[in-house]
Structure 1
Amino acid sequence: MPHTPGEPDSTPQKPPKKKRPFWQELPILLGIALVLTILIQQFVGKVFLIPSESMETTLHGCTGCFGDRVVVDRVTYDFTNPTPGDVIVFRGPQHWTEHEIAPQDTGNFVTKTLRGLGSLVGFAPPDERDFVKRVIATGGQTVQCCDPQGRVLVDGKPLDEPYVHWTDPANPVQQPFAPVTVPAGSLWVMGDNRNNSCDSRCQGGGGVNGTVPVGDVIGKARFIVLPPSRWSGVSDYDAQHPAALGAPAWQQGLPLGAGALLAFPALAAGRKLRRLAQRN
């Protein structure tokens, strides 16, 4: 029946929908944050656990200490190649892993799932055999050790390497190796803990077999996120060109934090869509 002006409107009104309490929305927020975190880590930046002391003291992985968790930028190398001084995470090339015994697949479905989720956010070692080292030379360059002062040479020029850690500071001597010309599309990598790292010098027997194809690089280590006492950027000091400065590590941010921040606007957008659907 049409409403007559001046008369009270008898049309039944829908009671306003009560806003869902925060404790009910919290699981939704956490779920969205987790999904966004996984997506961000797969395509933008991933958190890795450092299980080895080969990068001391730049990255902690020492026996008995809390290993560093680092954010690895997975975007930069989609547009450019690794350069000298970059700290990179990469899959072990065939020459590095061909003699290793494959890890046993133990645990039930729940254990495997939890371990997989843990590796995604850096609280468990990743399943694949990944390594973290510093780029010393790139394709076409010749690297060798050492000059009379015990320094690594690239194309005959000594490197300035302030990041090198000596297990015995009173005896800063590293093992010499013959000149190696790095193949095009490959990298020569070494650990900062120079006398306690099996890297391009020894992996695969050393030489060309010790180089790492650029295609095996997962990303660039940008920021230490755990433990809190170690919060800092990861140095990408170019020992070939000491005056060159890398991009600030803080630009990459923390994937988990980004996921949590993005969860709120995503939930708000979901609410708006539900309201529009109810009106229609």
Structure 2
Amino acid sequence: MTDITVPADDTSARLRRRSQKKGALLFLRDVLVIFVVALLVSFLIKTFLVRSFFIPSSSMEQTLQIDDRILVNELVPDLVGVQRGDVVVFRDPGGWLPPTAEVEQPPLVAAVDWVFSAVGLSASDSDDHLIKRVIGLPGDHVVCCNALGQMTVNGVPLNEPYVTLPAGVATVSKDAFDVTVPDNSLWVMGDNRYNSKDSRYNREQPGNGFVPVDNVVGRAFVVSWPSSHWGWLDNHPSVFAGIRDPEGP
């Protein structure tokens, strides 16, 4: 019987093909692992640290423009307290937003949007949230307006450089108010003072215009998109520096 001898070149070729196939499988495995880890890290960041929202209205102009994308620090208020001047995103306390019809999406689009939302790259629920500037903390006495058209907090007048007013108008609120902020609540206002449905205009709602601290999702700290609007969001500590905390009962 004659032995069949496989040429060395054929053996080497088969070994190379086997090695290449194994290398390709290892590469795909590594890519899959990296992708899953990236999704997990993004999900954890979105859940506990930073979340993205878009701006649906003009109530915060000129600080924020319609369709701006912002990043929100979710450590506020659970680990870092809310401060006067903070720009915060919060869930509707009830009645601030009109009912919205659910938009039907093709299954594939809905799935992709869900994944992007889970990792913080999409903000499909932005229409269910509001964004305003914190003016009054629990116990603060907020009044508007004094003879110069300024708002006062605990008797201290505010010089607010971030406020947008109609041409020729100096008074920072069209309507007067005098409120004391309840415990665990906030008094919030839009920077576009004559075009913002904020605490002033939700006094008839269940929360009397105040926002429960527990409804705060986080503090907006940067405009991330478009690139032409990129910048840090200032909470203007100098505006509120002279305000003393309210005295207890």
For the aligned pair, the TM-score class normalised by the smaller chain equals: 0.7 to 0.9
Matched residue, 1:74: 74
Partner of 2:107: 109
1:22 Cα deviation after fit:
9.9
User: Matches of 2:58 and 2:125 in 1, distance apart?
Assistant: 17
CA distance in 2, matches of 1:50, 1:122: 15
SS at structure 2 position matched to 1:55: coil
Structure 1: stretches of 5+ with no match in the other structure: 1-14, 62-66, 244-280
SS in structure 2 at match of 1:115: helix
**What is aligned with 2:158?**
159
TM-score (norm 1): 0.69
CA contact 1:180–1:208 (8 Å) conserved in 2: no
Query: Which residue does 1:90 correspond to in 2?
Result: 90
**Aligned residue number for residue 195 of structure 2:** 196
User: 1:188 is paired with a residue of what secondary structure?
Assistant: strand
The 2-side partners of 1:77 and 1:187 are apart by 12
1:34 aligns with 39
Q: Which whole-Å CA distance do the structure 2 matches of 1:225 and 1:20 have between them?
A: 37
TM-score with structure 2 setting the length: 0.77
Partners in 1 of 2:188 and 2:26 — Cα distance? 50
Say if 1:143 and 1:152, in contact at 8 Å, map to a contact too: yes
Deviations 1:114-159 (A, max 9, x none): 3334445354431661001000011111112101111111122211
Measured after TM superposition, the shift of residue 54 of structure 1 is 0.8
Give 5+ residue unaligned stretches, structure 2: 1-17, 244-249
Correspondence 1:109-258 to 2 at 5 A: 109-120=107-118, 121-126=120-125, 129-166=128-165, 168-173=166-171, 174-205=173-204, 209-238=208-237, 239-241=239-241
Query: Which stretches of structure 1, 4 residues or more, deviate above 4 A after TM superposition?
Result: 15-23, 25-28
Q: Decide whether the 8 Å contact of 1:116 with 1:126 is kept in 2.
A: no
Percentage of matched positions with identical amino acids: 34
RMSD of equivalent CA atoms: 2.9
What is the alpha-carbon distance in structure 2 between the residues aligned to residue 111 and residue 138 of structure 1? 41
- Given that residues 181 and 208 in structure 1 are in contact (C-alpha distance below 8 angstroms), is that contact kept between their aligned partners in structure 2? no
CA deviations over 1:79-112 (Å, ceiling 9, x no partner):
2321101110000102435xx3242352343333
- Given that 1:191 and 1:199 are in contact with CA atoms closer than 8 Å, whether structure 2 keeps it comes out as yes
- 1:69 and 1:153 mapped to 2: Cα distance? 31
SS of the aligned residue for 1:48 comes to strand
Q: Residues 125 and 157 of structure 1: is their aligned pair in 2 closer, same or farther, counting only changes over 3 Å?
A: same
